[in-house]
Amino acid sequence: MPSEAPALAESGLRKDCLGFWHIAAQSVANIAPSATPALVVSLIYGLTGNGSWLAYVLATAIMLLVALNVNQFARRSVSPGSLYTFVAQGLGPTLGVISGWSMVIAYLIIGGAVLAGCANYVTVVAHALIGPGFDGPLTVGAMIAAALGAWYIAYRDVKLSTQLMLLIEFASIVLIMTLSFAFFFKRGAVLDPAQLMLSGVTPVSIGHAMVLAIFSYVGFESAASLGHEAMDPLRSIPRSVLFTVVAVGAYFVFTTYVLVMAFHGQNPPLDQSTAPLNVLASLAGIPFFGLLIAIGVAIGFFACALACITAGSRVLFTMSRHGLFHSAAADAHATHATPHIAVSFAAAAVLVGPLVLVASKFALLDIFGDLGTLGTLSVLFSYVLVSIAAPVYLGKRGERTPLDVAIAALAVVAMIVAIVATVYPAPPPPASYIPYVFIGLLALGVSRFMYLRARQPQLVRDIEADLA
């Protein structure tokens, strides 16, 4: 007998096919939790030393505020448009389009950043196995292979995509946690007085480190882009968003504490280490784990690229259904029920950026850092808009409380501080150009919207009617 056709949402995407863990995997993979102990903690330590764990505690609290604002919408409406739809519901189509375009920029640029991270760790693994000498071909080959693999999976089946992300992220987190506990077992102690007493830490240093720590959480909201594909989305998506922030936040605090403890007395110190997890493996007495971790981090970056393509394509798909991009990007595949044209565009865009920068002789970690900063700036901008939109939206529904306003205000202030910290004091070039690149990319999308609105006066009314 022929198999029963899958149930489809009005958008043409596959309905009710993703459970809680699939949805959570999307958000967790978009954060790329293995990247933080591998690359980010050393930067945090350079800013605040023994206060690094506290920086992540505070960053988790701030991102919980943003998550609560996102969930004001996620509990009441579903859409693959994510923050584009949410901001439009609260602040109207114009600011919604600005937020949506900012999220498209964020997902595609961060996708390019993690391709560079993936290629970097592929070369680390290759150096351990066969030695140096093939870095150029390996870099380009790894980027192309990762982008093609992510494209195929996202094109083919959203359930396969989220299942793979769940498996990859679970495995990488288990590896890093196992390594951490092995270190404690070998050391014979878990308490670190220098960290617990915040030795040498100042409030200013904690503030600077907290801003950088916020960057580790970018992408936690991407579960909302699966609104038409999730089972019981009004419950499962809000739960996934909160679970991601709390669970990944606890993981960040723990792994940061372990790394800072392990590096006491080490030379080079943590803020100068290029492979802190490899050092941790040696200190734990299981140096071969360093290679396993490097493989896991490379695969984790691939999962993040897949998550970026999955989320970015759905925002693009929704905006195209509203006439904001080419109508082809609004098509859902007749068999796979995925936004296949939007997926293909997203995968191509994710790949082009890092390849151009590699051809321009940028180092892989510089590509990761610069594209990551650009993508983070884009998503923080949307976090500000959705946090402003939340109490406005609740007010329209007659459901706003003073607590809702307070949560939104705190989140907005925190995000603005984080945005300012990315541009002031100005970093050296080319990083100093990043805010202008963001403004330029944002202006492209806004200009197109203004052009379309002038030519099609009914456009805004149609968007409002669709979101009502």
In contact, 311 and 109? CB cutoff 8 Å: no
pLDDT at 132 over 90: no
pLDDT at 245: 96
Which of 190, 256, 254 has its CA nearest to residue 45? Answer: 256
Peptide bond into 425 cis (omega under 30): yes
CA–CA gap between residue 109 and residue 88 (Å, rounded): 23
CA–CA gap between residue 227 and residue 310 (Å, rounded): 12
DSSP 8: B
Which of 342, 344, 438, 372 has its CA nearest to residue 114? Answer: 372
Burial of 131 (0-12, 13-18, 19+ CB in 10 A): exposed
pLDDT at 184: 92
Query: Residue 92 contacts by C-beta under 8 Å, 6 or more apart in sequence?
Result: 460, 464
pLDDT at 3: 45
Question: pLDDT category, 68, cuts 50, 70, 90?
Answer: very high
- What token pair was written down for 244? 């991601």
pLDDT at 2: 43
Long-range contacts of 430-438 (CB under 8 A, 24+ apart): 430/370, 431/369, 431/370, 431/373, 434/370, 434/373, 434/374, 434/377, 435/377, 437/374, 438/105, 438/374, 438/377, 438/378, 438/381
Peptide bond into 268 cis (omega under 30): yes
CA–CA gap between residue 419 and residue 215 (Å, rounded): 10
Backbone angles phi, psi at 398, to 5 degrees: 70, 30
Residues above pLDDT 90, as percent of the chain: 50
Q: What is the mean pLDDT of residues 434-442?
A: 93
CA–CA gap between residue 151 and residue 86 (Å, rounded): 27
Across the chain, what does the average pLDDT equal? 89
390-414 b/e with 16+ CB inside 10 Å = b?
bbbbbeeeeebeeebeebbebbbeb
Q: What is the mean pLDDT of residues 203-228?
A: 86
Question: pLDDT category, 210, cuts 50, 70, 90?
Answer: confident
pLDDT at 334: 79
Q: What is the mean pLDDT of residues 332-356?
A: 91
Q: Hey, what amino acid is at 306?
A: L
| Of the listed ranges 63-72, 85-94, 245-254, 383-392, the one predicted with least confidence | 85-94
Q: Max alpha carbon distance in the chain (Å)?
A: 71
DSSP H helical ranges for 360-458: 364-396, 402-423, 434-455
Sign of CA dihedral 163, 168, 174, 176: negative
Q: What does the pLDDT look like over 13-62, one tens digit per residue?
A: 777 778 899 899 889 988 889 888 988 898 889 888 999 999 999 999 99
CA 159 from centre of chain: 19
Question: pLDDT category, 401, cuts 50, 70, 90?
Answer: very high
pLDDT at 146 over 90: yes
pLDDT at 17: 78
pLDDT at 29: 87
CA–CA gap between residue 121 and residue 172 (Å, rounded): 14
CA–CA gap between residue 213 and residue 206 (Å, rounded): 10
pLDDT at 342: 93
Q: Which domains does the chain have, with CATH numbers?
A: 20-420 (1.20.1740.10)
In contact, 175 and 251? CB cutoff 8 Å: no
In contact, 149 and 343? CB cutoff 8 Å: no
pLDDT at 354 over 60: yes
pLDDT at 6 over 80: no
Q: Which range among 39-53, 77-91, 341-355 has the greatest average pLDDT?
A: 341-355
CA–CA gap between residue 200 and residue 82 (Å, rounded): 42
pLDDT at 73: 95
CA–CA gap between residue 243 and residue 64 (Å, rounded): 10
pLDDT at 454: 87
Q: What does the pLDDT look like over 219-235, one tens digit per residue?
A: 899 888 888 888 899 99
Phi-psi region of 339 (alpha: psi -120 to 50; beta: other; left: phi over 0): beta
Task: Name the more confident of 13 and 138.
Answer: 138
Q: What is the pTM of this model?
A: 0.91
Helices 41-48, 52-74: inter-axial angle, 10-degree rounding:
120
Residues in the chain: 468
Which of 4, 44, 8, 90 has its CA nearest to residue 464? Answer: 90
pLDDT at 5 over 60: no
